[in-house]
Structures are given as structure tokens and as C-alpha cells.
Amino acid sequence: MSHIQFRDLSVSYRRPKSDERFLAIDRISLDIERGSFVAVVGSSGCGKSTLLLAAAGLVSLASGRVVIDAAPVTGPGGHAAMVFQDASLLPWRSVLGNVRFGLEMRRWKRDDLTERALRHIRMVGLGDFADYHPHQLSGGMRQRVNIARALAVDPEVLLMDEPFGALDAQTREVMGNELLRIWERDRKTALFVTHDIEEAVFLADKVVVMGRDPGRIKDVVQVDLPRPRSPDMLDSETFVTIRRRLRESLAEDMASLRLVTEGV
């Protein structure tokens, strides 16, 4: 059985200052295999972040269900760890304190929190910065802390919502490589939301394309590139073919979006 199952999942939000609701995602079904890396791409407003929040148990569902490890998700719990685009670090805590924070919230009992946190800080390459505070770190370093915090709680599923969205292009590439290096160690099931097609193809086994109004799945593309991935694959025929297909898939959405804007 698949590790994560989305079944007829709909999520609706209330429009600001009214009782009217709109569908952010509309009856989505999707299966994610254990140990696979799945990327979700789509234009803004297509509900890709909502899909992630639903997997994390952070939104209430209008219909359908999310099942992880054969158990329905009913709220935020021990199954998944979330990495948001904003590093969301506690500014008054050091790097060590921030990575410990996740463990503390999980009421981790299994081993020494500090030792475990330090191990994960070293894993993301910040061994020398454990005592630094977030304001002393670069954006890329903060996002590393964010990832270390998520991995330290040893989640079944790693959920990442545009984790590199706020970083510059070079840092972004480095972080992508780093993420894969870390992920290869224990291959946790990963769901990665991005708006960057190349990033999606480079990282994932499977890329899900979402469309908007209402949010739905338009296409699912298998990425048959060997692992470990390396930057020279970016020019391979497989990569280029997949990238083109994804771009075309997304372009339809962009075209309809343009019409809407011009209509206004």
C-alpha cells in the first residue's frame, strides 16, 4: 500500500470578511510510495501548499481523507515534519536551541536531545554554528537549521513548502544538492512543493502538476533519472524532455491566468 494516500480530498477556505467559501483544492486523489521523493509544481493559488498542510494535519478537510501509514490524518502529530519557506526560527534561541525546539514539542523521550540536535546540525553542515542565533546566519543557513529541525524528529514523512523559495539562485542550487545528499541517507518519503520546474525534476522521482480554479491535479510525470542525481543531468535528454512537458502543462494555466488579468 502507498505510504501517503490522498483520497477525494477537498479543502475550502473562507474568503476574507465574508461567510463565502471557495475551494482551494477540489477532490484530489494521489498516491505516494514509501521512500519516494515527490515534487508538486503549479502556479500560485493552485492549492499546492494546501495539499501539504492537509498532509501535515494543519487544515480541516471539506471532504475526503489523507491516510499516512494506513492511519487517517486527524491533526498535527508525530507522523510528519514540516519545512516552511520562512525558516520560522525562534530568534531568541540559538541554532542548537531551535533544533531542540522541534524535539521538545514532540516530547522526545528516546535519547539525549542536545546530542541528537547537534548530530543533525552537523549533518546540514552547521557544526561550527550551533551557538549562533538566527540573526547572525544567512538565509541559506537558516533554511539548513529549518531542515535539521525537521529531520531531527525522525518523521515518517518530510513535507517541504518551497523551502528554497526565498533564496538566491546559487544558494538554491547548493541547497538542492545538499538536500538530496541528506535525503539519500535514509530516503524518507518526501513531498516537496516548488514553483521551479528544474528544481522539481532534479530532486524528484515523480512530479505532480497542479492547476488552479479550483486546485486540481493536471499531470503526473515520472522522472526516470538515476540516483544519486548530479548537476550534469540537467542537460540530459530525459531531463530536457520532462522539463518541456512540465512547462507546456504549466503554460496552459498561465495562459488562462493571463486572460483573467486582461479581462480585468
Partner 1 sequence: MIAFYRRFEAVLVGTASLIAIAVAWQLAVDNGFIDPFFISTPLAVAREAMTQAADGTLFVNISATLHAFSLALALAAAVGIGLGVLAGWFRDVEAALDPFIWFKYSAPTIAFYPIFIAYLGYGLPTVVTVGFLFALTPIYANTLAGIRNVDRDLARTARAFGARPLDVFVRVALPGSVPLLVAGFRLGVGRALTGVVVAELFGSTAGLGYSITQHAQLMQTAPMMVSIVAIVLIGVALTQALGFVERKTDAWRVDAE
Which among 199, 201, 219, 202 is positioned nearest to 210, based on CA atoms?
A: 219
Given candidates 134, 140, 176, 215, which one binds partner 1 under the rule CB under 8 A? 134
Q: Answer yes or no whether residue 92 interacts with partner 1 by CB under 8 A.
A: yes
- Please give the Cα distance from 181 to 41 (Å, whole number): 22
| 225: phi then psi, degrees, rounded to nearest 5 | -110, 140
Q: Is 71 in the site for partner 1 (CB under 8 A)?
A: no
Per-residue contact track with partner 1, 96 to 115, x per CB under 8 A? -----xx-xxxx--------
Phi and psi, residue 165, nearest 5°? -60, -30
Q: Compute how many other C-beta atoms are within 10 angstroms of the C-beta atom of residue 22.
A: 10
Nearer to partner 1, 102 or 211 (CB): 102
Residue 78 sits in the site that holds partner 1 (CB under 8 A): yes
Shorter beta-carbon distance to partner 1: residue 111 or 184: 111
| Contact status, residue 202 vs residue 235, Cβ threshold 8 Å | no
Nearer to partner 1, 106 or 218 (CB): 106
Specify the pairing of strand 4-14 against strand 63-68: antiparallel
Nearest to 223 by CA among 247, 242, 249, 251: 242
**φ, ψ at 113 (rounded to 5°):** -60, -45
Alpha helices in 187-236 (DSSP H): 197-203
Grid cell, residue 47, equals 492549492
Which of 76, 127, 228, 231 is the binder for partner 1 (CB under 8 A)?
Answer: 76
CB of 241 to partner 1, least distance (A): 36
Which member of 29, 63, 72, 77 binds partner 1 (CB under 8 A)? 77
Applying CB under 8 A, does 121 fall inside the site for partner 1?
A: no
Segment near partner 1 (CB under 8 A); pick from 88-96, 186-194, 195-203, 224-232: 88-96
Q: Which residues pair with residue 193 across a beta bridge?
A: 40, 161
Stretch that binds partner 1, among 10-18, 75-83, 174-182, 240-248 (CB under 8 A): 75-83
φ and ψ at residue 41, rounded to 5 degrees: -120, 160
Q: Which is nearer to partner 1, 74 or 241 (CB)?
A: 74
Query: By CB under 8 A, is residue 163 in contact with partner 1?
Result: no
Write out the residues near partner 1 by the rule CB under 8 A: 56, 58, 76-78, 81-82, 84, 86, 88, 90-92, 101-102, 104-107, 133-135, 149, 153
